[in-house]
Amino acid sequence: MPSSRINDLVIRFANVNGTGSASANGLFAKAIFRMGIPVSPKNIFPSNIQGLPTWYEVRVNEKGYLARKDGIDVLVGVNPQTLRRDIDSISSGGYFVYDSSKKLHEEYYRDDVTMLGIPMMKISMDHYEVPRHQQLFKNIIYLGAIAALLDVELEVIKELIAEQFATKEKLIPPNYKALDLGYEYAQNSFECPLKVRVERRDLIGDKILIEGNEATALGTIYGGATVLTWYPITPSTSIAKAFESYAKKFRIDSATGKNKFAIVQAEDELAAIGMVLGGTWNGARSFTATSGAGISLMNEFIGYAYYAEVPCFLINVQRGGPSTGMPTRTQQGDVLFCAYASHGDTRHILLFPSTPTECFEMGALGLDLADRFQTVVFMMSDLDLGMNEHLTEPLHWDKNRKYDRGKVLSAKDFEDPDLEWARYLDVDGDGITYRTIPATHPTKGSYFTRGSSHNEYARYSESGEDYVRLVDRIARKIDTAKKHVPGAELYQKISSSPLGMIFYGTTTYAAIEAMDIFESNGIAIDSMRIRGFPFDEDVVKFIQEHETVFVVEQNKDGQMRTLLINELEINPAVLVPILNYNGYPISAYNINTQIDQHLSINNLMKEVL
Amino acid sequence: MPSSRINDLVIRFANVNGTGSASANGLFAKAIFRMGIPVSPKNIFPSNIQGLPTWYEVRVNEKGYLARKDGIDVLVGVNPQTLRRDIDSISSGGYFVYDSSKKLHEEYYRDDVTMLGIPMMKISMDHYEVPRHQQLFKNIIYLGAIAALLDVELEVIKELIAEQFATKEKLIPPNYKALDLGYEYAQNSFECPLKVRVERRDLIGDKILIEGNEATALGTIYGGATVLTWYPITPSTSIAKAFESYAKKFRIDSATGKNKFAIVQAEDELAAIGMVLGGTWNGARSFTATSGAGISLMNEFIGYAYYAEVPCFLINVQRGGPSTGMPTRTQQGDVLFCAYASHGDTRHILLFPSTPTECFEMGALGLDLADRFQTVVFMMSDLDLGMNEHLTEPLHWDKNRKYDRGKVLSAKDFEDPDLEWARYLDVDGDGITYRTIPATHPTKGSYFTRGSSHNEYARYSESGEDYVRLVDRIARKIDTAKKHVPGAELYQKISSSPLGMIFYGTTTYAAIEAMDIFESNGIAIDSMRIRGFPFDEDVVKFIQEHETVFVVEQNKDGQMRTLLINELEINPAVLVPILNYNGYPISAYNINTQIDQHLSINNLMKEVL
Amino acid sequence: MSFHKPTFAHPELPINKVGYRKKDYEGVISTLCAGCGHDSISASIVQACYEIDLEPHKLAKMSGIGCSSKTPAYFLSNSHGFNSVHGRMPSVTTGANLANKDLTYLGVSGDGDSASIGMGQFVHVARRNLNMTYILMNNGCYGLTKGQDSATADLGSISKSGSENPFQGIDLVGLALELGASFVARSFSGDKSQLVPLIKAALAHPGFAFIDVISPCVTFNNNKGSTKSYDYVRQHIEATSEFDFVPKEQPIKVEYSEGTGKSVTLFDGSTIYLDKLSNNWDPTDRYSAINRIQEGKKKGEIVTGLLYINPESQELHKLLNTVDTPLNKLTEKDLYPGDGILDRINDTFR
Amino acid sequence: MSFHKPTFAHPELPINKVGYRKKDYEGVISTLCAGCGHDSISASIVQACYEIDLEPHKLAKMSGIGCSSKTPAYFLSNSHGFNSVHGRMPSVTTGANLANKDLTYLGVSGDGDSASIGMGQFVHVARRNLNMTYILMNNGCYGLTKGQDSATADLGSISKSGSENPFQGIDLVGLALELGASFVARSFSGDKSQLVPLIKAALAHPGFAFIDVISPCVTFNNNKGSTKSYDYVRQHIEATSEFDFVPKEQPIKVEYSEGTGKSVTLFDGSTIYLDKLSNNWDPTDRYSAINRIQEGKKKGEIVTGLLYINPESQELHKLLNTVDTPLNKLTEKDLYPGDGILDRINDTFR
Ligand SMILES: Cc1ncc(C[n+]2csc(CCOP(=O)(O)OP(=O)(O)O)c2C)c(N)n1
Ligand SMILES: Cc1ncc(C[n+]2csc(CCOP(=O)(O)OP(=O)(O)O)c2C)c(N)n1
Ligand code: SF4
Ligand code: SF4
Ligand SMILES: [Mg+2]
Ligand SMILES: [Mg+2]
C-alpha cells in the first residue's frame, strides 16, 4: 500500500527530446511553486537535439529541501525506448503513469507499483488533427491527468498557460481543453488524488524560481559588463543567450537605438578569452563563460592574465569530465584545475555560488574582483546550478552601488607632480599595483603589457631577482584576496561537535538536508560552506576545531579536499572525502550513507552519540 | 691573496650573443673534460638572437660535483654592457680577465680581485683583417690566454680545434695562431698559472659530455619512434633538431633512399599533439616535445588521450613560467600542472630524468609506457638538463630489447573463437584493456574512439554507472603504473637519520653535494631521488621512516611536495620545502643554507648532531 | 546512447567486388533529427564506399565534434573511427596518415568545427596536401549547440530567431582553392546523384580532397530567409558540369557531348569524366575555378560539382619521402640503428 | 633587457600638428639583429605616425610573440603596448577595440605568429573587419626560434641549412582577399617610400587594413636560394602603382598621369592616390586584385602596393551597432538598468 504523504514526493517525467515535453513539465514545477510549495526540478537531458530519452525530475518538499532525492514516487513514462528502466526506477509503493493508447506488455507490470494507464495519444488524436499538435497536446493531457492525480490546482496551471500565451491568445483554449481532457480522464478513471499529493501552502515568500545561468547573466549586467565574448558550449551557452536578451532590453541607448554593449561570438575559446583580456586591459568590463574543454583551451591566456596582471572574469559552468565526458551531466570536476590553471606556479581566485541568487551576486562581484586584483577570477558554477531552475531569494541590487574598478590611475592623478608611478610597483604593500588604461594621458602612464618577465617598470628583464620579486608580489596579491572573496558560511555559532562537514556550490542542498537527518538521529555535525578561494581564516579555524571533517563534493578525486590540504597545510587524515561523481546531483541519503559508513568503520559513532 | 686551488673552480665568460663566443667557450669545457677532470658548463643566454649579454659558466671540480656553484673565481669579461655587474659578481680573491684594448675605467677596479687586462681585440686586429674574423679570433685569443692562466693543456685544445675543422682544414692554422697569441700574451704578461688552476686527472672514465635534449632524441630513436610532430619552442626545439639529424643518419632505407620516419613541423602545439594521438592510435610510435605555453595549449588533447586511452608520449623541457615567463631560464615549474593536466579528474604518468643518460633511457621508456598504459606519459626535463652539456654515463642499448607495444590484438588473436573482445573491458584486472590498430581484421576489432563517455564496448553512453566504471578503471590503470615507472633511487641501504631529503631531476647534483657537506659536518641526511609518478611504495616508506623530509625543487610553490602530500596522504608538517625559483640551477650552498635555517629554527640541529 | 540496427542480411542483396553487401557499409541507427542533411550525406558515403569496392576496415573514419561529427558512427561500422575534439580532426588524421599511408582516410566535419575553431588545422592540412577526403557538412550553423550562426553563414542570412547575420560568410571552397588544395568540390546533401561520384573521386584522389556539402539543419536553420535551407539551396544551386567517376579497371561507358566535356585520369588509373562544362572554366586550372565561383556568386548561384583537381597532386608522404612500408609496420629490425652505432655516437661526445 | 635611448631633443627638430617631434614616436633601442628588416618597418611606422599627426597615446600597439612581435617596444614609447601570446594578437586587439572604438589599433605580427599558430585568429579578425592596421613582418621563417621555415616560406625556397621547402607557401594577401578584408597591401621593409604612405592609409582606413611586409631575416633567411632574402626580393619586386596618401584637410599636391591613376576617398575625407596603375587591375575590385597577384606569380613577380581597398568598409562597431561613446567610458549612470527593473525581473520568475 502506498504510504500517504502530502507535499513530499518525487515525480519524474520520462520523455523523448524534441517533442515539446519540456514546456508541459515546466508548467508542472511552476504550478507547485505558485501553490506556495518548495519545488526543485532537474532536467536530465541527452547530448543530442531530437529523439533521445530525456527526463524531468521534480522534487516537491514542504520542508524546503531542494536536493535531488533518491527514489521516485510517481513516474510519468511516455518514452517507449526507456520503459523498462523507467518502471524499474520507481520506488516500491509508487505509481507509474503511462500512455495506454497501446497496451502495455505484461512483462512491464510490477506488483508493488500502481499502474495508471491513460490513453494520452488516443485522446489527443481524437481531439486534434495536425500531427504536430497531437504530439504537443499529448503532453498537456498528461499534465492535466497529473494535476488530478496529485491534486495540483487546475486554475494555477491555467493561469500559467494564459501568461505563457499572452501574445498568442488563440493558443490558450486548445491548451485548456487538453488540460481538462487529461484531468477528467484521470478523475473518471482513478481514485483521485493519490496518497502522495500536494496541497497549497504559503512557504515560498518572495522567492523566485530561476536558472543559475539566467541569474549569472543578470549579475554581469548589473555588475556593469559591457563586453561579452564567448564560444558556444553546453552548459554555459545560456549565460550568453540571457546576457544578450537582457542587454537588448536594458542596454539600448534610447536616443539612438544603439547598443551600450558588444557581444562577439568568438571563433573559439582561445579567442574568447583573448578578447576579454583586450577588453579589460582597455578598461571595459568584459567576461566570458565556458566549460570543460573551453577551460583547457584557455590555459595559455589564463597564465598570461595571471602573470601580466590583466583582469579576467571567467565563468566556468562545470560539466562531467574529463575530455568531452558527459556534456549534459553535472560535476564539480574542475576545482583543482582552475585553482592552479596554466603552466608554472599560479594560483587563481575562485568563487563558488550555490544558488542562483549567489550566481547573480558573484556574477557582479567577479567583475569587481577581477578589476581589483588584476587577475583571473573564476566563477565555478555547474550544470545543475546553471541549467536547472532553483527556488532562491529574489535578486537584489543596491542602486547606489559603484563598480569597484580597482587601482586605476586617471589623467588627473598624473597631474600630481609627486606621483611616482611604475606599473608593477607595490606602493600599498598589498601586492596590488596601479594600472592605467590606454590613452589616459598624452605623455605619462603608458607601459608595455607582456607575458615575459619584467621589472616594476614593466620593462623586459631576465634578472632572477626581478623575477623573484615579481612572482612573490603576485603571490602576496592573491593572498590579499582572501579577505575579499566571499567568506565561508558557518551553519552554527560555535563549533559543538568533533565532526565537521565542508561543502560548496551545489552540494549545499544535500549537505544541509544530511546535516538535519544526522541531527534528527542525535548526531551533531558542524557545517561550513566554502564560497571563495583563496580560503579565509574561518576555513582554517573550522578545520582546526574538528577532529574529523567531511568534505562533500561532486568529483572523483576530492579536489576541494586537495586544495584545503595543500593551501592550509592540513593533515590529510583529518579530511574525509564524501564524493559523488556519476553526473547526477548528490543526494542527502548518499551523504548520510557515506558518513555513516566512515563513522562505523572508525568507531566514531559511539563517541559522537 | 687568492687561495690556491687545483681542479676546483668556477669560471664565467661574459659575452655578447651572436659573436661566436659559444664555440670558443665550448672548447674550454671540452678541454677540461679531455684532461680527465669533471666539468659542468652552463649557458645563461637571453631570449634574443644577437647583441645581448650571454654568459657561459663552467664549474671544474675533481670531486665530481656537477651542480652550479655560487661564487665566481675567474671572470672573462668581454661584454661592455655588463661590465659593472660582471666585476661585482667575482668572489673576493678571484680574477677578472678583460679586454684591455680600451683602457678600463678606474671605477671598475676592485682591490680584492686581480685584474688581468689582455688587449684581445687589439691583438686580433693586428693579426687578422676581415672584421668578422677579428671578432671570431678574439674569442680564441682569450681562450689561449685562459689556457695559460689556468694551465689548460694547449695540445688538448688544438686537438679539439683540429677535430672541429676536420672538413675545413684551412681554418685550423689561423685558429692555432690565435690560440698561441693569447697563450703567449698571458705567459709573457702574468705569472702563469694562477693559484686556481687545473691539472690532468683520470676521473672521467668512459663518461660522455652531452646535452640532455640530444640524449633524449637518441632515446626516442632507439625506442622506435617513427613519427615526430612538433612546434618550435625554446628549450625543447633541439630535441626535434637532434631527432631529425640522427634519423637522417640511421633511418634512411639504403635501397631506396627513403625515410623510415616522418617529421612534421606542425602549425602549433594543438596540432602537434593531435598528430601524435593520430599516429599512436594508428600504431606508429609517435611523440612530441614542447615546453610551458605548449603544455597549456595541449591540455584539451591531454584530457582526451587520458579518457579515450590513446598513447601519447610528451616531452616537456621546462622553462621559467608562468606565461612566457623566462623562456631561457630553467625551472621545474610544471610538475603539478602536468600531473593533473586538463579539466576533470585526471592523473598522468611522469618521468623525471636527472642526467642525459636518463634522458636517453626515459626517452625510450616513455614510448613503451605510453603504449603499455594507453595514456599520456610526460617526460619532465628542463632547460638546464636539456640545453647544457652534462658529464654522464655513456648511452647503452641492449640490442635484443624489444619495444613494449602493450596490449594490442593482432588479426591472429581474432581467429581464436573464444576471444571475447571489448575495447574497454578490463579482463586482466590491471585496468589496462586491449586495443586494436585500424585495419587489423576485416570484420572484427573495429571500434570508435571518443572523448565522450562510453561503455566497455566503446559505445556512447550517458549512463552514470558506465561512467563511474570507466573512470574508476582508468584510475586503477594509472595505479598499476606505479610498478612500471622507474622506482625511487635511495642513497643509503637503510634509513639512519630522522632527516630525509627528496629531490628529482636537476636538483639532484646540488642535493648530493649538499648531503656530502652535511655529512662532513657530522649531520646525516638520508636521501631519495624520485624518478617517476605515480609514486611507488619506496617513496611512501622513505617518508614514513623520517620525521622531517626536505623536498628540494626548483619552483615557487613546492609542487612535488604538493603531489606527495596529495597522493600519499602525507601530513604536510613532515615535508619541508627547499626551493629555488630564480631561473638559475640550484646550488648545494643554497640547499645547505635553507636546511640549516630550518634545523636551527626548529632546534632539530641538536637532536641530529 | 546508440542503437544497433538488426543485422539480418538478405542473402540475395548484391555483393561488390571485395565481397561486401551495401549493408556492410552502414553504421548504427542515426540519432540526428529526422530530415537532417547530414544523414543523407552518410547515405551517400555508404553508397560510394560500396560502389568503389573499398574494404571497410581499410578506411579510417575521422571527425571532430558536432552533429556532423557524430555521423561516422552511422556509417561503416567495420571501420575504426576517431571522434576527436572540436576542430582538430585534421591534425589527428595527419598523424594517423603518417603512421599508415596504406589506409583511406575519410574525415567529416561541421562548419563550426572547420570554419571557426578548426580554421587553422583546415588551412594546414590543405597546405600539406594530406591524402584524405574531407567532407564538410555545411549547415551554416552550430547544430549541436542549438543553432548559433557559424562562420559559413552568409551575410544577410536570417536565423531561426529572425536576426540577420552581419558578417561575411567564409567560403571554405574559395579558401581551399586559394591554399592550393588539390581537389575541391561543392555539393548538396540532397543531390545524391552528384555527391556519390564526387565522394568516390575524392576517395581515389591521392591528396587532399575537399568536398563542401551544403547540408541543411532542419531544426535550426531551415527557415525562410536562411541561405542554407533546403528551399533556398534547391533554388540557387548550379552544377558546373555533369560528373562521373570511373575506377580503374572498370570499362568506360560514359558518353559526353563533344567539345564540352573533359576527362581527368588519376594516378591510380581511375578517370573522372566531366560533361557539359560551364563556360570559361577548366577543372584543372584553379584560377578558372576561383573565377567561376565568383561569377556564380555575383549571380546568386551556388556553384556545385568538382571545381578543381590537380592531376599532378603530390601528397604528404611524397613530400616527406617516406618509405613504402607503412611506418606502423616497421619493427625493431627496421629501426634499430645497428650494432656499434651507439658506441660511435658516445665517442662523438668525448 | 631594454635600453633607453638618450632623450635630449633638439629643439629645432620640426614639430607636427599635434605638437610632437619625430623623436616622440620612437621607442627603446632595438635588440634585433643589425640589418633585420623588422627594424626598417619600425622606422616606417615611426615616420607614418609622425606624418599623420597622430597623438601617440591614442594608439595602442598590439603584438604576438617573435622577433617581429618585439618591435612595438621599439616605436611609440608613449603608446600603451600589449605583447600577447603567440598567434593571438588579433583576439586581444578585438577585445581592446570593442572597449574603446576611439583609439587607433596597430597590430604587428610575424609570419609564424600569423600564418601558423595564429591562422584562425587572422582569418576571423579579417572576417569581422575589425578597425585596425595589421602589419605582417614576413621573413618566411621563425626568427626568434632560430630559423625554421614558416608557412609563408615559398615552395622551393632554400633555407640557410640548404634544405628545400617542399610545401606550398601560404600567401596571406591572397587569403585576406578571399576573406573579403577591406584593405589589403603588400610591401617590402626596404621600400620606405612605399611603406610609409601605405601605413598612413592603413591607419586611416576604417576597417581591417592588412599589410604584408616582406622583411628579410638577416640571420636565418638571407641566404642564396631564399625567396625572402634582400637580394631576391629586390630583384622580383613589382609595384602595382605609385602611391600616396593625403590626410583630410591637407592640401592636395599630387600629380598623376592622366588615365592611369585613380583616387579613393576614405570616410574621414582622406584620399589615396594611385598612379601608374598596372593593367587589368582596379584597386577597388578585389577579384581584379586576386587576378593581378596571380598574373604576377606566374611571372615570378612579387606584386606590391595597395592591392585592394573597399571604400564602403563597415567596421565591426558598425556591424554591432554600438553606441558612439566608447564602452570603456560608460559608467554606472549609463549602465544601471534603472530603479524597479530588478523587481520586475524577479516577478517574471514567480
Ligand atoms: C572546445 C569546445 N568548445 C565548444 C564545444 C561545444 N560544441 C559542440 S558541437 C559545437 C558546434 C558544432 O557545430 P558544427 O561543427 O557546425 O556541427 P553541426 O552540429 O552543425 O553539424 C560546439 C561549439 C566543444 N565540444 N568543444
Ligand atoms: C605557444 C607558443 N609556442 C611556441 C613559442 C615559441 N616561439 C616564439 S617566437 C616563435 C616564432 C616566431 O616566428 P615569427 O612569428 O615569424 O616571428 P619572427 O621571429 O620571424 O619575426 C615561436 C614558435 C611560443 N612563444 N609560444
Ligand atoms: S540539430 Fe540540425 S544539424 Fe543537428 S541533427 Fe538536428 S537537423 Fe541535424
Ligand atoms: S633573427 Fe632574424 S628576424 Fe630575428 S632579429 Fe635577427 S634578423 Fe630579425
Ligand atoms: Mg554546422
Ligand atoms: Mg618570421
Is D1 a residue whose pLDDT tops 70?
no
* B292 ligand 2 Cβ < 6 A: no
The pLDDT assigned to B1 comes to 46
DSSP strands (E only) in D127-182: 132-138, 141-142, 148-149
Pairing of strands B286-290, B227-230: parallel
Place of cell 555547474: A382
Question: Does the distance separating the beta carbons of D2 and A446 come in below 8 Å?
Answer: no
Task: Confirm if A368 and A377 have CB atoms less than 8 A apart.
Answer: no
Interface of chain C against chain D, CB under 8 Å? 116-120, 123-124, 127-129, 151, 166-168, 170-171, 174-175, 178-180, 287, 290-291, 294, 319-320
User: What CA dihedral angle connects B81, B83, B85 and B86, to 10 degrees?
Assistant: 120
CATH topology of domain D22-322: Rossmann fold (3.40.50)
* D220 ligand 4 Cβ < 6 A: yes
Q: Does domain A5-197 have CATH number 3.40.1390.30?
A: no
Q: Can you count the helices (H) and strands (E) in chain A?
A: 20, 25
Question: Does the distance separating the beta carbons of B268 and D116 come in below 8 Å?
Answer: yes
- What is the rounded distance in angstroms from the CA atom of residue B599 to the CA atom of residue D157? 63
- What is the rounded distance in angstroms from the CA atom of residue D109 to the CA atom of residue D87? 8
Is C252 a residue whose pLDDT tops 80?
no
Write out pLDDT tens, residues A80-97: 999 999 999 999 999 999
Q: Is D320 on the interface with A (CB under 8 A)?
A: yes
Q: Per-residue DSSP letters for D73-141?
A: GGB-TTSEEEE-STT-HHHHHHHHHHH-TTSEEEEEEEHHHHHTTTHHHHHHHHHTT-SEEEEEEE-SE
The CATH number of domain B489-608, selected from 3.90.1150.10, 3.40.50.920, 1.10.760.10, 3.30.1700.10: 3.40.50.920
Q: Per-residue DSSP letters for C98-110?
A: HH-TTSEEEEEEE
B229, B233, B237, B319, best to mutate for ligand 2 pocket (most atoms within 8 Å of CB): B233
- The amino acid sitting at C27 is G
Is C5 a residue whose pLDDT tops 80?
no
Outline where B374-446 has alpha helix (H). Answer: 383-387, 411-415
Mean predicted confidence (pLDDT) in C180-208:
96
* D38 ligand 4 Cβ < 6 A: yes
Residue whose CA is at the smallest distance from ligand 3 atom 4: C143
- The amino acid sitting at B292 is G
Between the CA of A185 and the centroid of ligand 2 the distance, in Å, is: 72
The pLDDT assigned to C265 comes to 83
Region(s) of chain A under CATH 3.40.50.920 = 489-608
Question: Does the distance separating the beta carbons of B272 and C96 come in below 8 Å?
Answer: no
Task: Confirm if B351 and B505 have CB atoms less than 8 A apart.
Answer: no
* D219 ligand 4 Cβ < 6 A: yes
C68, C113, C114, best to mutate for ligand 1 pocket (most atoms within 8 Å of CB): C113
- The amino acid sitting at B364 is A
State the pLDDT confidence band at C255, using cuts at 50, 70 and 90: low
Question: Does the distance separating the beta carbons of B51 and D144 come in below 8 Å?
Answer: no
State the pLDDT confidence band at C67, using cuts at 50, 70 and 90: very high
Is B606 a residue whose pLDDT tops 90?
no
Task: Confirm if A341 and A348 have CB atoms less than 8 A apart.
Answer: yes
* D41 ligand 2 Cβ < 6 A: no
* D87 ligand 2 Cβ < 6 A: no
* Residue from C2, C92, C341 whose CB has the most chain B CBs within 10 Å, to mutate: C92
Ligand nearest to the CA of C221: 3
Element holding D343 (H helix, E strand):
helix D341-348
- What is the rounded distance in angstroms from the CA atom of residue D213 to the CA atom of residue D202? 13
- The amino acid sitting at A404 is D
pTM above 0.95? yes
Cross-strand partners of B460: B454
> What is the phi/psi pair of residue A495, to 5°?
-70, 135
- What is the rounded distance in angstroms from the CA atom of residue B153 to the CA atom of residue B34? 10
Angstrom CA distances, A18 to A30, A146, A386, B6, stand at 21, 21, 21, 84
* Neighbouring chains to C with at least 3 Cβ pairs closer than 8 Å: A, B, D
Question: Nearest 5 degrees, angle CA A531-CA B471-CA A560?
Answer: 20
- What is the rounded distance in angstroms from the CA atom of residue A11 to the CA atom of residue D65? 57
C32, C41, C65, best to mutate for ligand 1 pocket (most atoms within 8 Å of CB): C65
Position in ligand 4 atom list of the atom nearest CA D221: 2
Element holding B148 (H helix, E strand):
helix B131-150
Region(s) of chain B under CATH 3.40.50.970 = 212-392
State the pLDDT confidence band at B601, using cuts at 50, 70 and 90: confident
Between the CA of D88 and the centroid of ligand 2 the distance, in Å, is: 11
Is C40 a residue whose pLDDT tops 90?
yes
Of C321, C328, C346, the CB nearest to B259: C321
Position in ligand 2 atom list of the atom nearest CA D217: 20
Residue B203 neighbours by CB distance under 10 Å: 16
Between the CA of B462 and the centroid of ligand 1 the distance, in Å, is: 18
Residue in B27, A394, A450 with CA at minimum distance from that of residue D340: A394
Mean predicted confidence (pLDDT) in A379-405:
98
Question: Does the distance separating the beta carbons of D117 and C167 come in below 8 Å?
Answer: no
Question: Does the distance separating the beta carbons of C175 and D127 come in below 8 Å?
Answer: no
- What is the rounded distance in angstroms from the CA atom of residue C14 to the CA atom of residue B437? 30
Is D165 a residue whose pLDDT tops 60?
yes
* Minimal CA separation from D159 to chain C, in Å: 16
User: Mean pLDDT across chain B, nearest whole number?
Assistant: 96
Residue whose CA is at the smallest distance from ligand 3 atom 8: C36
Write out pLDDT tens, residues B475-533: 999 999 999 999 999 999 999 999 999 999 999 999 999 999 999 999 999 999 999 99
The proportion of chain D whose per-residue pLDDT surpasses 90, expressed as a percent, equals 80
Is C3 a residue whose pLDDT tops 70?
no
Is A608 a residue whose pLDDT tops 70?
no
Q: Is D72 on the interface with A (CB under 8 A)?
A: yes
The pLDDT assigned to D9 comes to 55
* Minimal CA separation from A73 to chain B, in Å: 21
Q: Can you count the helices (H) and strands (E) in chain C?
A: 12, 13
* C23 ligand 1 Cβ < 6 A: no
* C106 ligand 1 Cβ < 6 A: no
Is D102 a residue whose pLDDT tops 60?
yes
Domain boundaries along the sequence of chain C: 22-322
Nearest CA in chain A to D320: A262
User: Would you call the peptide bond into C90 cis, given omega within 30 degrees of 0 as the criterion?
Assistant: no
Question: Does the distance separating the beta carbons of A345 and B322 come in below 8 Å?
Answer: yes
Cross-strand partners of D308: D184
Nearest CA in chain A to C70: A48
Nearest CA in chain C to B437: C80
Spatial CB neighbours of B572, under 8 Å, sequence gap ≥ 6? A565, A566, A569, A570, A571, B561, B565
Angstrom CA distances, C107 to A219, B95, C50, C97, C182, stand at 42, 66, 17, 12, 16
Write out pLDDT tens, residues A273-283: 999 999 999 99
Helix, coil or strand: residue C330: coil
Q: How many CB pairs under 8 A join A and D?
A: 221
* D217 ligand 4 Cβ < 6 A: yes
Region(s) of chain B under CATH 3.40.920.10 = 5-197
- Long-range contacts, D320-324 (Cβ 8 Å, 24+): D320/A259, D320/A262, D320/A263, D320/A264, D320/C166, D320/D98, D321/A257, D321/A258, D321/A259, D322/A258, D322/A259, D322/A260, D322/A261, D322/A262, D322/D98, D322/D101, D323/A253, D323/A256, D323/A258, D323/A259, D323/A260, D324/A256, D324/A258
Query: What is the longest distance spanned by two Cα atoms in chain C?
Result: 76
The pLDDT assigned to D249 comes to 62
The pLDDT assigned to C1 comes to 42
Q: Is C28 on the interface with A (CB under 8 A)?
A: no
* Minimal CA separation from B48 to chain D, in Å: 7
Task: Confirm if C127 and D167 have CB atoms less than 8 A apart.
Answer: yes
The pLDDT assigned to B4 comes to 86
* C112 ligand 1 Cβ < 6 A: yes
Q: In terms of CATH, what superfamily is B212-392?
A: Thiamin diphosphate (ThDP)-binding fold, Pyr/PP domains (3.40.50.970)
Write out pLDDT tens, residues D209-229: 999 999 999 999 999 999 999
Mean predicted confidence (pLDDT) in D314-330:
98
- What is the rounded distance in angstroms from the CA atom of residue D136 to the CA atom of residue D37? 12
Q: How many CB pairs under 8 A join B and D?
A: 52
The ipTM of this complex is 0.97
Position in ligand 1 atom list of the atom nearest CA A233: 6
Spatial CB neighbours of B474, under 8 Å, sequence gap ≥ 6? B306, B307, B309, B375, B431
Position in ligand 3 atom list of the atom nearest CA C37: 8
Residue whose CA is at the smallest distance from ligand 4 atom 8: D36
State the pLDDT confidence band at D255, using cuts at 50, 70 and 90: low
Window from A456-470, C267-281, D241-255 with minimum mean pLDDT: D241-255
Give C-chain residues touching B278 at CB under 8 angstroms. 62, 82, 91-99
Per-chain residues with Cβ under 5 A from ion ligand 5 = C 110-112, 139
Of D86, D112, D146, the CB nearest to B293: D86
> Between residues A495 and D253, which one has the greater pLDDT?
A495
Mean predicted confidence (pLDDT) in C267-289:
84
State the pLDDT confidence band at A318, using cuts at 50, 70 and 90: very high
Mean predicted confidence (pLDDT) in B207-211:
98
State the pLDDT confidence band at C287, using cuts at 50, 70 and 90: confident
Name the D residues in 120-149 with CB < 8 Å from any A CB. Answer: 120-121, 123-124, 128
- The amino acid sitting at D269 is G
